[in-house]
Amino acid sequence: MTFRRPTGGAVDRDTVLRFTFNGQELTGHPGDTLASALLAHGVHEIGGSVKLGRPRGIVAAGSEDPTSLVQVETPFPEPMLLATTVELFDGLVARGLAGQGKLAAEPDPARYDAKHVHCDVLVVGAGPAGLAAALTAARSGARVVLVDEQNQAGGAVLGVDDPSTARWVAEVVAELENTSDVLVLQRTTAFGLYQDGFVLALQKRTDHLGFAAPASRARQRVWRIRTKRTVLATGAHERPVVFPDNDRPGVMLASAARTFLHRYGVLPGSRAVVFATNDSAYLAALDLAQSGVDVPLLLDARPEPPAGLAAECAARGIEVRVGQVTGTEGDRRVTAARVGDELVPCDTLLVSGGWNPVVSLFSQARGTLRYDGGLGAFVPGEELPTVRVAGAATGEFDLAACVRQGQESVGSANEVAVPASDAWRTEEPGLVLWRVPGDDNASFVDLQRDATVTDVLRATGAGLRSLEHIKRYTTIGTAHDQGKTSGMIAAGIVAEALGVDLADQRPTTFRPPYTPVSFAALAGRDRGELHDPVRVTPIHPWHVAHGALFEDVGQWKRPWYYPKPGEDRHAAVLRECRAAREGVALMDGSTLGKIDVQGSDAGKFLDLLYTNMMSTLKVGRIRYGVMCGVDGMVIDDGTVIRIGEERWLVTTTTGNAAKVLDWMEEWLQTEWPHLDVHCTSVTDHWATIPLVGPRSRDVLAAVAPELDVSAAAFEFMTWRDTTIAGVPARVCRISFSGELAYEINVTAWHGLAVWEALIAAGEPYGITPYGTETMHVLRAEKGYPIIGQETDATVTPQDLGMSWVVSKKKPDFIGKRSFARPENLRPDRKQLVGLLPVDPEVLLPEGSQIVGTRELPPPPVPMLGHVTSSYPSAALGRTFALALVRSGRDRVGDTLYVPVGDDLVPVTVTESVLYDREGARRDG
């Protein structure tokens, strides 16, 4: 039997769409939702309930529906969608869910993206009030964005039979679409309203196309809207009344049945009992009766039914009776409504307990809500400076009044005319009724959470009074629908149970998102290669072409090592280390942070910034420096070169370049604005190539014919400007390995060419490119710390054995005061030392703890420190490690133990410098 009417509704009956639900092959039409297509076949039962497994159906016609959760299986598995919001497409396969879905195991192939848009007026909701607001704003020349959740404009007009109002809607939409600077977005839900006019909306762009969705078109888009003013015309949701066994499939909101009838041409059943507390349910009953549904009985909970509407019902053969539904009968579908002792057979039970203005976004905007005792609902309680509410969202349900509110919400005198309508006529005020007494265990407040009146009363019985607490205790309002139909009723039952006035109660806070948003949509294009920028140096293509493996350092890709065929990391790194110590090697150091510091106070500034003295450095010379935080802990290190009387170039570690520049600016702008200093990042401007090893001088001489490279003419810790491979270069004689070494700087434009020139010139010497792993080994052999590896924000320069880098003469510098604190003077601070495993083959895992005894004592085991770096060393012919050890320097020569697996590995504590302690290799 079909429940599709031969005419009516916005469905294309000439086109048949096939779909499968719960294994059953069915058909529908374009314009259907999955829910309307199912109802057309008389299918009400969607799935079971999450805890109790009770059958559940379709309660509402839109996103407020608490029950019709489905899993879509094709074209891509997606859990937790509502049958009432899934637009039908050919080939759809779905099944009902019992509260929990299943995420896809494979990656989602669809595109998701985001787009920014700016406007003067954002209107949320394209019902009569929203359309009036948008039209008024558009006619005034404003930039307007109108977003609406449905696939077509109209709002409540879509759920009634009112051709003249529908024509008005079409005319308004046509005018909006023909006005420049007006953007109308259907299938778009404003789900988050944030400060300063920032609103997020999700547009479902191709979901409804199913298999026909073009792959290049983003399936969903997050609109990032920035608006000067916002009009919330979000309408109202009908709420049910709670009564025993109110959860059976076939029990439906009266307005939902009216919407299914008029929008989709679908009847909810053959025989419907209506349970009303207000006039709107009469209109649903009349429309259904006129459409052929047998409506034997309308129960009105009010003592006096509205005379006019009751007479219309009588004329249609609907008995109107004062009373309440007290229960239902049926197995998987309601078969009768219980009215006291009487059973009224029916396959549909329509309920209307009144209307809740949709105030979610208003509440998100920090608008306070006021309880309207007449409506039995919270309504916007105040005006906000830039957010207005119009239409049913304010509790106004008269069409002309809604349109007037929409127009006034944008503050224009332009009159928007709407034809008169009797589709929402009312005679008498509604009655606020939360529930009908009966079996509280079977009276469901939140159908999705299987939460009953018993659960609410248990909460109040346990002493809970706050709606927020009761929400968490009962879970009412925490499901996909966030309590759109249940929250107000729960509040009402609580107030009754506690004997308090709802006007004195604070409603639970509405939070984004208004409707569920998938993580894929939020991630947008920030996936795969666009997930995070990959920063590369100008020499990067060479590294790729020569088989480098890469290490991520912050956002940078740095060559890690360059394995030759058949080499593992261990072999490659030993080879690269050997080349640097015995021949010549080079690496790409372009990622180092570089900051140009200029001004007459630059020396003074650097003296304050670094722990050591910089202002005394002579032009042409270089000094290593350490920076500390105000707590005296090391935050960065690097070289400082003096380019001119008032100009310096500071290098930072790769990962800290931006942080150090920010740190400099913070001090200059907040504490020392009187200093004449300017800092400019030149990190990307320079390509930097350390050329390392005893034969580095030969290679440099070959490419820099104008430069006197002799040790006497080009001293350690000095720099020279020269020409390398025909391009201007700055060469610094510094070393991070202890070997003779030069750091060659050319503009990034020249980086690759100069690198290749060095490779060519170094060929006779077996020049070897090396990566970060070899750099780490070489510096560790010399005991040079790496910021962030040997340090962790609790390490002072003194802890690193670098008291020499802390000036005793300077009157002040950042961190100075902290070095006098007793904590920083304790002799048992953790200090940097070397560790040599007694077995020279054993490699200690980095991060290992260090203990003082051969056997582990019972817990708590006293920990002396941890291993910070650990490598096999070609130069030492053994493994070694650096470690932070309590009173480490006093333990040099001692044997300590490192738990590795089940073993305690004995290690000998040494000075941190393990190779070339006398520094003999520095000059080649």
- List residues binding other proteins (CB under 8 A): 111, 113-118, 143, 181, 216-218, 224, 226, 525-526, 529-530, 532-538, 540-541, 556, 591, 596, 598-600, 676, 678, 680-686, 725-727, 747-754, 757
Q: How far is the CB of 337 from other proteins (least distance, A)?
A: 52
Residue identified by tokens 């159908």 is 447
Q: How far is the CB of 90 from other proteins (least distance, A)?
A: 24
Q: How far is the CB of 771 from other proteins (least distance, A)?
A: 18
Question: Which among 594, 539, 924, 913 is positioned nearest to 733, based on CA atoms?
Answer: 924
Q: How far is the CB of 668 from other proteins (least distance, A)?
A: 11
For other proteins, the closer CB: 654 or 735 = 654
Are 127 and 402 a contacting pair, CB within 8 Å? yes
Are 884 and 671 a contacting pair, CB within 8 Å? no
Question: Which among 407, 409, 419, 417 is positioned nearest to 136, based on CA atoms?
Answer: 407
Please tell me the distance from the alpha carbon of residue 917 to that of residue 587, in angstroms, as a whole number: 24
For other proteins, the closer CB: 117 or 343 = 117
Q: How many angstroms separate the Cα of 669 from the Cα of each of 601, 676, 677, 775? A: 14, 11, 10, 36
For other proteins, the closer CB: 342 or 676 = 676
Q: How far is the CB of 548 from other proteins (least distance, A)?
A: 16
Query: What is the DSSP code (8-state) at residue 703?
Result: H
Q: How far is the CB of 119 from other proteins (least distance, A)?
A: 9
For other proteins, the closer CB: 228 or 321 = 228
Q: How far is the CB of 647 from other proteins (least distance, A)?
A: 8
Question: Which among 853, 816, 890 is positioned nearest to 627, based on CA atoms?
Answer: 816
Q: How far is the CB of 535 from other proteins (least distance, A)?
A: 4
For other proteins, the closer CB: 146 or 579 = 146
For other proteins, the closer CB: 259 or 591 = 591
Cβ neighbours of residue 187 under 8 Å, at least 6 residues apart?
148, 149, 150, 151, 203, 204, 205, 207, 208
Please tell me the distance from the alpha carbon of residue 329 to that of residue 576, in angstroms, as a whole number: 82
Q: How far is the CB of 595 from other proteins (least distance, A)?
A: 10
For other proteins, the closer CB: 19 or 648 = 648
Please tell me the distance from the alpha carbon of residue 44 to that of residue 252, in angstroms, as a whole number: 10
Please tell me the distance from the alpha carbon of residue 813 to that of residue 604, in angstroms, as a whole number: 10
Q: How far is the CB of 206 from other proteins (least distance, A)?
A: 11
For other proteins, the closer CB: 176 or 602 = 602
For other proteins, the closer CB: 169 or 668 = 668
Query: What is the DSSP code (8-state) at residue 1?
Result: -
For other proteins, the closer CB: 591 or 870 = 591
Can you say how many angstroms the Cα of residue 242 is from the centroid of all Cα atoms in its chain?
A: 37
For other proteins, the closer CB: 291 or 598 = 598
For other proteins, the closer CB: 138 or 402 = 138
Q: How far is the CB of 185 from other proteins (least distance, A)?
A: 14
Give the CA angle between residues 427, 418, 278 to the nearest 5°: 20
Name the phi and psi angles at 714, rounded to 5: -130, 85
Q: How far is the CB of 201 from other proteins (least distance, A)?
A: 14
For other proteins, the closer CB: 526 or 662 = 526
Please tell me the distance from the alpha carbon of residue 148 to that of residue 158, in angstroms, as a whole number: 13
For other proteins, the closer CB: 373 or 728 = 728
Q: How far is the CB of 607 from other proteins (least distance, A)?
A: 19
| Percent of residues in the chain assigned helix, strand, coil, to nearest 5 | 25, 30, 45
Instruction: Write a three-state SS string for 167-199.
Output: HHHHHHHHHHHCCCCEEEECCEEEEEECHHHEE
- Sequence letter at residue 669: Q
What's the burial of 811, exposed, middle or buried (CB within 10 Å: 0-12/13-18/19+)?
A: exposed
Q: How far is the CB of 230 from other proteins (least distance, A)?
A: 16
For other proteins, the closer CB: 422 or 529 = 529
Residue identified by tokens 């949320």 is 124
Q: How far is the CB of 752 from other proteins (least distance, A)?
A: 5
For other proteins, the closer CB: 83 or 145 = 145
Are 112 and 218 a contacting pair, CB within 8 Å? yes
Please tell me the distance from the alpha carbon of residue 552 to that of residue 720, in angstroms, as a whole number: 32
Q: How far is the CB of 405 from other proteins (least distance, A)?
A: 29
What's the burial of 546, exposed, middle or buried (CB within 10 Å: 0-12/13-18/19+)?
A: exposed
Please tell me the distance from the alpha carbon of residue 626 to that of residue 787, in angstroms, as a whole number: 10
Q: How many angstroms separate the Cα of 791 from the Cα of each of 531, 633, 644, 784, 817? A: 29, 9, 32, 11, 20
Are 695 and 714 a contacting pair, CB within 8 Å? no
- Residue 198, strand partner residues: 226
Please tell me the distance from the alpha carbon of residue 259 to that of residue 32, in angstroms, as a whole number: 12
